[in-house]
Amino acid sequence: MAEKTVQKQAVKLTKNMTKKQIQTFFERLREQRPHPETELNYSNPFELLVAVTLSAQATDVSVNKATDKLFPVANTPEQIYALGVEGLKQYIKTIGLYNSKAENVIKACQILIEKHNSQVPENRADLEALPGVGRKTANVVLNTAFGQPTMAVDTHIFRVGNRTGLAVGKNVLEVEHRLVKVIPKEFIIDSHHWLILHGRYTCIARKPKCAECIVSDVCNSVDKYEFGAVREIKVEL
């Protein structure tokens, strides 16, 4: 409920960032994390596809605990398909919604084997045709595995976009389109990871850590001073 309240307030009150603010915003995030990466463990596009599919409504930590046991045993479509639904469940039963996720992953493996020569497609249409793969999952795979300029808007990115004024939107698709439009090309590939990590560790939902935020001065949040952002002191010369 608190998350929804923050989002509604942000959409109503936060002004869009200027180009100069956006440039500074990403320059600082890049300086903080020059080579950002997903926190999901994977070593190839197929492992990433499986991990992201399993991560829906689950933490990266819980997914990593499961896949750290699964992938050494099975990390190709053929190997996971051979496990079957019940076999796969034994590895992922600590993850939320594991029953339906196991069924989707097995079905996806079958499609990859039969239609894609066991390779992960590099286009949105074929990815979204896989069971358990929606627009967000497809965007993560396209960006992280194949370096395409896509934006997978999750709860963290939606919050950061609206709260800061980087990308104000009423739904995830509006925020996604706004982000792709306003983020300079030099930042677009890594911006997905920067924004998720910023939202996960600094621009958190209930009590954002504005006092220690490296971009608080270019953020348009209406509540940032309440949460400790330092006010600029104007000195008359």
- Known catalytic residues are 136, 154
Determine phi and psi for 215, rounding to 5 degrees.
Answer: -125, 15
DSSP string, 65-116: HHHHHHTTT--SHHHHHHHHHHHHHHHHTTSTTHHHHHHHHHHHHHHHHHHS
Q: How far from chain centre, in Å, is Cα 137?
A: 9
* d(C-alpha 111, C-alpha 126), whole Å: 10
Angle 77-92/60-70 helices, nearest 10 degrees? 120
H-run or E-run covering 12? helix 2-13
DSSP string, 128-162: HTSTT--HHHHHHHHHHTT--------HHHHHHHH
Residue 88, amino acid: L
